[in-house]
Structure 1
Amino acid sequence: MDTETLLEKYNVVAPRYTSYPTVPYWDNELFTKEDWLENFKKTYVAHKSEGISLYIHLPFCENLCTYCGCNKRITKNHGVEKPYIQAVLKEWAMYIAILGEKPKLKELHLGGGTPTFFSAENLEILINGITAHAEMVSDAEFSFEAHPANTTAAHLSVLYSLGFKRLSLGIQDFDPHVQFLINRFQTPEQVDEVVKEARRIGYTSINFDLIYGLPGQNLTNLGKTIAQSILLQPDRIAYYSYAHVPWLKAGQRHYSEKDIPVGNEKFALYKLGRQLFIDAGYEDVGMDHFALKSDSLYLASAEQKLHRNFMGYTDQHTHLLLGLGVSAISDSWNAFAQNSKVVETYIDKVENGILPVEKGHILTENDLEIREHILNLMCRAHTVYKNGIPKHIKSRLEPLLADKLIVFDDFRVDITEIGKSFLRNVCMVFDEKLWLKQPQTQLFSSAV
């Protein structure tokens, strides 16, 4: 089957599978904070020697990037920084009290929003407040997301001194017309300046976020953006598909559907980027990600140690991911919990000594088994059933086999090279929640 026909067949709405079950299918009515804390403590005790991962959500941005689907708060009032940091540290203190000891910290990531909205001084207060109540493991990895237009030498220097060695720059596109439509502005010169300063200081891994399918993009201008990005030699590139969900994110109504490349046009943008990255020496690592062979993400992939969680792909593997801050999601492997999504609600709960968990899901044995298979497919491009592939899964796999997206036998499923471009579709085969109950509204973005 040719690519055009495959695209027409498989470009359906699909989850990104940062978790299983996916958030819209959580059994929130069966979830309690008590269940969450019981699972949290149980997982911590069972795996305390490996350390925990910590995600801190910093939601503030000065300007609205209209394409963005993240939980954020738009403000130019930097007076919000200290009260928010104090709330995050109080939430951290609640969990430390629950554990009764300092946990080992293996991974810490600052996401947003725009973490570099916060001053270097306030980020130092935040990180010192976190690490004062934790022990660092020897190979701990600290990383943060940054906007090239507001990342200063002070940000880079202070965070490096606190243990950060990895930087992720949100670029998306360099074309002026595309930047106007998405209200996201930074020049190649600004990015070059940040990259050079980061490398001078000692950062060992720099990631660029790029998006294909944005309004106003075409093969010519996106090709130029990619060429400019490659010249700056990032160690990793995350090449995301734009998720057009204006019914969820009103900012996306800044432009109309006629501005957005779809179908074959969008897939051509994906193919262009993928080929340019590979030609430049980057390796295809999991869904949406490319890395140089010298980067730890590629090495983890090559050694079959790649992991995926709510922070995306990582070369660190922990059974416990704790999310702090508004809307942050935690994962104890057998349970998920998400904080309040409104800044004021989050701060108010924490200030009153209430754990700000708002919803969650306790995984069943069946959930855990399916989660393992989907993780294997997302991170290793194959999965194995010890007792044989169930008949109903085999039946669902047959069309993908016919289209050469996968190969399988009685026990093992392998994703083919072309199948990697339709990874979300392959994972949907195993998603029992989705098969049992198709969504009545559009919950997810398109697969390609």
Structure 2
Amino acid sequence: MSNALVNKYNIPGPRYTSYPTVPYWDNTSFSLSQWKTSLHKAFSSSNSEEGISLYIHLPFCESLCTFCGCNKRITKQHGVESPYINAVLKEWQLYLKLFDEKPIIKALHLGGGTPTFFSPQNLKTLINGILKHAIIAENYEFSFEGHPNNTTKEHLQALYDVGFRRVSYGVQDYNDTVQKAIHRIQPFENVKRVTEQARAIGYTSVSHDIIFGLPFQSLEHVKETILKTKSLLPDRLAFYSYAHVPWVKGNGQRGFKDSDVPSGELKRKQYEIGKQLLAEVGYEEIGMDHFALKSDTLYQSMISGDLHRNFMGYSDSKTMAMIGLGVSAISDSWYGFAQNVKSIEDYYKLLDADTIPVYRGHILNEEDLIVRQHILNLMCRFKTSWTPTYLYFDALPDVLVKLEEMEHDGLLLRTKNSVEVTPKGQPFVRNICMAFDVLLQRKQPHTQLFSMTV
């Protein structure tokens, strides 16, 4: 990878888990009533065939990881578990009232925070409370994020018993110095234990999350982590760039200096060596920052053209409607986005008033919907086209002009009706998507909103 290209294109940019991106949502004209209408439209048109997805945000952690930008509440008091579960189930009941029939759940994911902060029994209570009022799709996928230090065999068995078959473990890096800097001390033995336990119980997909570009992380550190990961051979991997956003309130990234974070050039080398080592044992690159063995459904969905991307990242399971439950959770009806309040106290207060706890969102207009599809195509398939003609939009000629220099640099190929990202350009797919992001182009931010693209 050319250092000149890295230096040229390493600029702040979105990860495009949504379009429009959250900073460009039109909150002024958004209302809870509009959100309900858009969700009902999505549910009515898709539930009988593809079902819906659920994301449940479980925000509690016993300690603060300083690399994390997620919404969380640090506490060692486990008495918070039951009140929070009751609140999530209350929110689910408010959504159920919007639907004319029982929802079919195709996908369900527990994220956080630390979902395994909760006891196995409380997690079963939560899931059973959700499923009691729903139908499970025939080809469903239930997954959760587990912390290797506190995920027990009992956690794995309890969630397996209620339908979970996929688990993702946050590894990040195995080096002691890096782990101390990000306040995430977890020995390789813990990851090995929970990986083997999941497989012994019957989980069909085990995933590891690995981050490059962490403070004090060297090229050798990444190689060591990848080599240890290869020995466990998880079915899929998220191998992604650390998003250094210390200006975001409360994310804990003030625990080290900006100068402690690797340069863009070093981060690119870390990625390239990791990719090479993973390819040697049969991992295939999926979209951006993800890898999977050919036996995993994520790879199979890429081959079939069904790969999807949303707020949970890449998925082999697309539904038009995705409902987010819990504090800060984001929902997607395809026609609109809605985000819940971030404070647990505000969340409880709104639910006590029988109000869905949404505080901001965006209803997509015609241009938004078209641009969203192009960005999804690029992120999932590395190509897009405006044939059929309904994918043409008025600002497209300006977009193509912005792509000229990237084409000159060998990052993409343009035809009269399409754009295709080259292998050389795949590491810069976020930059290519930015050219299609007409809202970003029309209103460049005055302060840094996004992490660096490399």
Distance between the aligned counterparts of 1:274 and 1:396, measured in 2? 29
Cα deviation code 1:64-104 (max 9, x no counterpart): 00010001110001010000000000000001112143100
Structure 2 residue aligned with 1:296: 297
- Pairing of 1:139-288 with structure 2 (within 5 A): 139-248=139-248, 249=250, 251-288=252-289
Distance between the aligned counterparts of 2:69 and 2:430, measured in 1? 19
- Pairing of 1:335-374 with structure 2 (within 5 A): 335-374=336-375
Letter in 2 for 1:392: D
Distance between the aligned counterparts of 1:255 and 1:118, measured in 2? 30
Structure 2 residue aligned with 1:30: 29
Distance between the aligned counterparts of 2:70 and 2:160, measured in 1? 26
Structure 2 residue aligned with 1:311: 312
Letter in 1 for 2:424: I
Whether the aligned pair in 1 keeps the contact of 2:68 and 2:251 (CA below 8 Å) is no
Structure 2 residue aligned with 1:436: 442
Letter in 2 for 1:37: K
Superposed displacement of residue 315, structure 1: 0.3
Distance between the aligned counterparts of 1:120 and 1:100, measured in 2? 32
Q: 2:420 aligns with which of 401, 414, 434?
A: 414
Distance between the aligned counterparts of 2:95 and 2:255, measured in 1? 41
Cα deviation code 1:79-136 (max 9, x no counterpart): 1000000000000000111214310000000000000000001000000000001000
Q: Secondary structure at the match of 1:141?
A: strand
**Residue 62 of structure 1 pairs with residue 62 of structure 2:** yes
Cα deviation code 1:206-250 (max 9, x no counterpart): 110000000111011211011001111100010110011111155
Q: Secondary structure at the match of 1:394?
A: helix
Query: TM-score if structure 1 supplies the norm length?
Result: 0.98
Superposed displacement of residue 391, structure 1: 2.0
- Pairing of 1:44-193 with structure 2 (within 5 A): 44-49=43-48, 50-193=50-193
Letter in 1 for 2:296: D
Whether the aligned pair in 1 keeps the contact of 2:42 and 2:320 (CA below 8 Å) is yes
Structure 1 unaligned spans of 5+: none
Classify 1:394/1:297 alpha carbon distance in 2 versus 1 (closer, same or farther; 3 Å): same
Deviates more, 1:251-260 or 1:85-94: 251-260
Letter in 1 for 2:160: Y
Superposed displacement of residue 258, structure 1: 2.2
Cα deviation code 1:401-440 (max 9, x no counterpart): 0000000101011000011101100100100000000011
Query: TM-score if structure 2 supplies the norm length?
Result: 0.97
Q: Secondary structure at the match of 1:221?
A: helix
Cα deviation code 1:302-330 (max 9, x no counterpart): 11110001111000010000000000000
Distance between the aligned counterparts of 2:334 and 2:278, measured in 1? 33
Whether the aligned pair in 1 keeps the contact of 2:116 and 2:151 (CA below 8 Å) is yes
Distance between the aligned counterparts of 2:6 and 2:342, measured in 1? 35
Classify 1:39/1:262 alpha carbon distance in 2 versus 1 (closer, same or farther; 3 Å): same
Structure 2 residue aligned with 1:21: 20
Superposed displacement of residue 372, structure 1: 0.3
Distance between the aligned counterparts of 1:54 and 1:335, measured in 2? 16
Letter in 2 for 1:397: L
Distance between the aligned counterparts of 2:32 and 2:251, measured in 1? 32
Distance between the aligned counterparts of 1:85 and 1:205, measured in 2? 26
* Superposed CA RMSD: 1.0
Whether the aligned pair in 1 keeps the contact of 2:70 and 2:251 (CA below 8 Å) is no
Q: Secondary structure at the match of 2:98?
A: helix
Cα deviation code 1:1-47 (max 9, x no counterpart): x6111001100000000000000000000100000001111110011
Q: Secondary structure at the match of 1:57?
A: strand
Percent identity over the alignment?
Answer: 54
Q: Secondary structure at the match of 1:31?
A: coil
Letter in 2 for 1:377: L
Structure 1 residue aligned with 2:406: 400
